Structure 1
Amino acid sequence: MGRGRMPTGRREQAKQAKRERIMTAARELFAEHGVGGVTTQQIAARADVAIGTLYLYASTKAELLIMVQNEKFAAAIDAGLATANAAVDKQGVLEPVVALIRPVVECVREHIENGRTYLHELVFGDPAEPYRQAGLALAGRLEDGITGLLVRDEHISAADAETLARVISAIIHLSTTATVHLHRSDEAVLTDIRDQIHATLAPHHRAV
């Protein structure tokens, strides 16, 4: 081993430690000031890394936001799935679906600016960028979870369940990011989403 070269294990530990510092700094600053009120230089300074080092982990502020929000999004989906899968609704699948999406809506609206920017970046950003790929995979996991609940309904086919899950995902996206809803409470937004999902599912029961 050459002089001055850090062993591979220690290098990886050092890289992981820097990544954690960057993530923590970004998480704190975005929570304090919103994504629009933070610069990458401020994040690098709080993480105690050079700006060039920060760019090795995320090349833009948007990527840093996606890194942070992906963790929150994943935790919200986990919580929603656990609650929904434990729910038994003799009246149908509506309430389990709402139970699944409740933590997701609360996550996106925890900091309105950050949540809106995150969803915008996932939809309109470069889908080949690794952090966006991870975020899109999480969105797919949410849709799969909704599909899994919908197929419990004997009146909804597997094919229709997949389509309805995409529709419900669109309802969540619009209801949590539209400017007209920004000043509403989480509960008001969730009630509106529930009503929209109910109306979306209703034709499948009327047709029987």
Structure 2
Amino acid sequence: MPVASQPLGRRERNKQQKLDRITAAASELFAEHGIEEVTTQQIADKADIGTGTLFLYAKTKGELLLLVQNAHYAEALERGRAHAETIPDALNALMAIVRPIVECNRVQVENGRTYLREMVFGDPTEPHHSEALSIVAQTEEAIAAILGRDELVNADDAATTARIVSAIMFLSMAVSANPALDTEDIVQDIRTQIRLLLPQ
């Protein structure tokens, strides 16, 4: 007999509500102005909390950006994974995962680049950073699953190849600093690189 989950207590509900308000406020302000133009005081004011309370949830703007972008990235990955399951061709299935992640990263280019920098160089013991790395691992697992379909790549090589595909995607997004650069151009560049990895 399954154990029913206990409802959250008042304290936990209050904490979750504050976290939701912080995430919504930071997401809106970062999207509108970019991370460099937003202060933690503005985020706290918009979330209707004190700055001291804000710092209980995230110690820096970088951590706040991780909090916000992790949610967007996880959603983009889930959309891409669902779409990829409907596509038999491996390269097109891989691109179904890649495209929404690139689109998510390009909504506000400076935020996207800062997110990637925080992901690579941030403190891996910090919870939001740890969550970002977990989402990267999930991305690589989804890529490896596609590579393993129809034994396109043997099981031993699928995880390694997935890491290479992931690195191609992240590096291509990081070096594409020009906001005017079309997302489609980045996606096509990634596709060309991935195609060269796949068995012909």
Q: TM-score, structure 1 length as denominator?
A: 0.88
What is the rounded CA distance, in whole Å, between the counterparts of 2:127 and 2:152 in structure 1?
38
Tell me which residue corresponds to 1:162.
159
Tell me which residue corresponds to 1:40.
40
Letter in 2 for 1:19: L
Larger Rg: 1
Tell me which residue corresponds to 2:169.
172
- What aligned pairs does 1:51-90 form with structure 2 within 5 A after superposition? 51-89=51-89
Q: Indicate conservation of the 8 Å contact 2:176/2:186, yes or no.
A: no
Q: Indicate conservation of the 8 Å contact 1:175/1:181, yes or no.
A: no
Q: Indicate conservation of the 8 Å contact 1:41/1:51, yes or no.
A: yes
Q: Indicate conservation of the 8 Å contact 1:176/1:182, yes or no.
A: no
Could you say what secondary structure the match of 2:9 adopts? Answer: helix
What is the rounded CA distance, in whole Å, between the counterparts of 1:135 and 1:25 in structure 2?
20
Query: What are the superposed Cα offsets for residues 63-104 of structure 1, whole Å, 9 maximum, x if unpaired?
Result: 111000000000000000000011122xxx111111111111
Q: 1:120 aligns with which of 117, 122, 130?
A: 117
Seq. identity, %: 49
Letter in 2 for 1:68: V
What is the rounded CA distance, in whole Å, between the counterparts of 2:147 and 2:102 in structure 1?
19
Structure 1 unaligned residues grouped into runs of 5+: 1-7
Tell me which residue corresponds to 1:5.
none
Query: What are the superposed Cα offsets for residues 101-139 of structure 1, whole Å, 9 maximum, x if unpaired?
Result: 111111111111111111110111111111111110000
Task: Give the CA deviation at 1:10.
Answer: 2.0
Query: What are the superposed Cα offsets for residues 169-192 of structure 1, whole Å, 9 maximum, x if unpaired?
Result: 111011111046653211111111
Tell me which residue corresponds to 1:23.
23
Task: Give the CA deviation at 1:9.
Answer: 2.2
Aligned length in residues: 193
Given the superposition, is the C-alpha separation of residues 179 and 95 from structure 1 closer, same or farther in structure 2, using an over 3 Å criterion?
Answer: closer
What is the rounded CA distance, in whole Å, between the counterparts of 1:181 and 1:152 in structure 2?
36
Q: Indicate conservation of the 8 Å contact 1:66/1:118, yes or no.
A: yes
Structure 2 unaligned residues grouped into runs of 5+: 1-7
Give the stretch that moved more between structures: 137-146 or 183-192: 183-192
Task: Give the CA deviation at 1:16.
Answer: 1.8
Given the superposition, is the C-alpha separation of residues 125 and 166 from structure 1 closer, same or farther in structure 2, using an over 3 Å criterion?
Answer: same
